[in-house]
């Protein structure tokens, strides 16, 4: 079931009414039934995978907590990790590694017949797998106690607003909220509805409109000249942000209307002035997951410099592969790891450069945005050959250089002005005062709805991150 469908627009109000119509102690059942129905509307049999993850981690969590020896704790943690990661590997990565192995063996004249699994990728498997893994690891580390109520734990794993594309929830933040009796609050309902409306607008009006141009140019990049390749790449940067953050806005808004608080997943990432800052603003729930469960266990920055850099590269390579079983995603992750290492190496030098603060902000913002867009080329391109063509043909003539450079300068200038607006205390205070003007607020609502009716009402395009 897509958020941007008539199906969801009927489903969600029904769940909302049922949720607030019954006693608090039975509400988990409504959420669980609704979440399972929501997921089964894609492919019913794949609900079995969620149930397996739920039962395995429910039992493993209790056994880890009750175990008297560290060995027994490790056994049940290993059981949880092996089953969850095994399912993820089988459905998402088996064919990729099988094809890669076959190609490598064939290169050395060793014949191998192709071995592939003809299965569809279950939507959301990467998200709910990481969510349940964090639960058992946190119990093993002694940070949380296991959830004894199987029904509530099942809702934690399958909570429909964020089930398919996050944000990834931490048990210590989310599970306690089920034990608080939520009453319908008008203010929360308005806040949630506002977020949902804004999410729909970002997805259906901005992202899906830009996708038309991006898909056309990236389908046959060799048919277009430099400026078009630049436009398509920048459009994709905006598309994927509006698409993914739009989903997150709808998820957070729907949860808020029911009384639940989900953490922010994006914070104006394209206003970042470094790659390190970008990853504190982009897909925050995933970047913090990799920090806590991959980077820090590897040793983080508490090791020798060389090993520190290796830890960064490993973390980002795994992050790239998390997005998909393709070389392009691996290169995308590797690039961001290298970006961050280069920033760390040159920080002592760049930090000493004396320059006007506004010029420095502009340069840092522009440089970061350009680097991020280079990464997006590998993320979006249909093949490595296409990615190489795009990057090497963006500026192939003097006219392309002038037009492309002018376009980039305009975009960076817009971002710089936005950065000044977002960081200026006076501007923040000004926008807060404007938000209190009822007439102006309703005018914005009407414009958003009109935009949806005009550009998005006939569209039902899947969200980009559904493929991950």
Catalytic residues: 323
Please, how many CA atoms are within 13 Å of residue 208, restricted to the half-sphere of its CB? 22
Contact 84, 64 (CB under 8 A): no
Nearest CA to 251 among 189, 202, 204, 196? 196
How many C-beta neighbours within 10 Å does residue 68 have?
A: 7
The token pair that represents 232 in the structure block:
């398509």
Cα 272 to Cα 25, 85, 228: the distances in Å are 44, 33, 25
Contact 463, 42 (CB under 8 A): no
Distance CA 277, CA 360 (A): 15
Contact 350, 300 (CB under 8 A): no
The token pair that represents 337 in the structure block:
């790891």
Cα 155 to Cα 65, 160, 225, 297, 420: the distances in Å are 21, 8, 50, 29, 42
Taking every pair of C-alpha atoms in the chain, what is the biggest distance, in angstroms?
Answer: 73
Contact 465, 244 (CB under 8 A): yes
Angle among Cα 397, 400, 404 to the nearest 5 degrees reads 145
Q: Contacts by 122-125 with C-beta closer than 8 Å and gap 24+?
A: 122/43, 122/46, 122/49, 122/91, 123/39, 123/42, 123/43, 123/46, 123/164, 123/466, 124/39, 124/163, 124/164, 124/165, 124/466, 125/49, 125/87, 125/88, 125/91, 125/92
Contact 264, 284 (CB under 8 A): yes
The token pair that represents 297 in the structure block:
């266990």
Distance CA 269, CA 198 (A): 17
Using the 8-state DSSP alphabet, how is residue 397 labeled?
S
């Amino acid at each position: 079931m897509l958020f941007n469908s008539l199906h969801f627009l009927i489903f969600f109000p029904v769940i909302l009414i049922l949720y607030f119509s019954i006693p608090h102690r039975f509400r988990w059942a409504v959420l669980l039934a609704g979440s399972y129905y929501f997921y089964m509307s894609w492919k019913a049999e794949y609900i079995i995978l969620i149930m397996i993850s739920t039962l395995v981690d429910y039992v493993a969590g209790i056994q880890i907590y009750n175990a008297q020896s560290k060995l027994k704790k490790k056994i049940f943690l290993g059981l949880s990790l092996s089953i969850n990661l095994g399912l993820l590997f089988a459905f998402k990565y088996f064919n990729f590694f099988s094809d890669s192995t076959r190609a490598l063996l064939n290169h050395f004249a060793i014949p191998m017949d192709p071995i592939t699994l003809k299965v569809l990728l279950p939507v959301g498997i990467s998200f709910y797998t990481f969510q349940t893994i964090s639960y058992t690891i946190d119990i093993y580390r002694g940070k949380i106690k296991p959830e004894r109520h199987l029904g509530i734990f099942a809702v934690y794993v399958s909570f429909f607003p964020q089930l398919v594309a996050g944000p990834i929830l931490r048990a210590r933040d989310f599970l306690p909220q089920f034990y608080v009796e939520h009453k319908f609050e008008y203010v929360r309902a308005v806040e949630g509805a506002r977020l949902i409306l804004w999410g729909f607008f970002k997805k259906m009006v901005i992202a899906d409109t830009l996708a038309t141009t991006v898909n056309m140019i990236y389908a046959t990049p060799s048919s277009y000249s430099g400026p078009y390749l630049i436009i398509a790449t920048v459009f994709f940067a905006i598309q994927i942000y509006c698409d993914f953050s739009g989903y997150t806005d709808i998820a957070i808004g729907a949860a808020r209307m029911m009384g639940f608080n989900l953490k922010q997943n994006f914070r104006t990432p394209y206003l970042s002035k470094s790659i390190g800052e970008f990853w504190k603003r982009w897909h925050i729930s995933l970047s913090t997951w990799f920090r806590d469960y991959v980077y820090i266990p590897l040793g983080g920055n508490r090791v020798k410099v060389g090993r520190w850099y290796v830890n960064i590269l490993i973390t980002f390579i795994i992050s790239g592969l998390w997005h998909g079983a393709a070389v392009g995603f691996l290169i995308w992750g590797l690039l961001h790891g290298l970006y961050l290492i280069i920033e760390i190496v040159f920080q002592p030098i760049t930090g000493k450069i004396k320059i006007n603060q506004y010029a420095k902000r502009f340069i840092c913002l522009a440089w970061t945005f350009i680097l991020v867009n280079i990464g997006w080329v590998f993320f979006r391109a249909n093949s490595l050959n296409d990615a190489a063509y795009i990057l090497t043909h963006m500026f192939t003539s003097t006219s392309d250089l002038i037009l492309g450079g002018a376009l980039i300068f305009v975009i960076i200038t817009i971002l710089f002005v936005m950065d000044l607006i977002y960081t200026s205390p006076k501007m923040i205070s000004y926008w807060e005062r404007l938000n209190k003007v009822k007439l102006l607020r309703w005018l914005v609502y009407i414009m958003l709805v009109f935009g949806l009716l005009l550009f998005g009402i006939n569209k039902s395009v899947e969200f980009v991150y559904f493929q991950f």
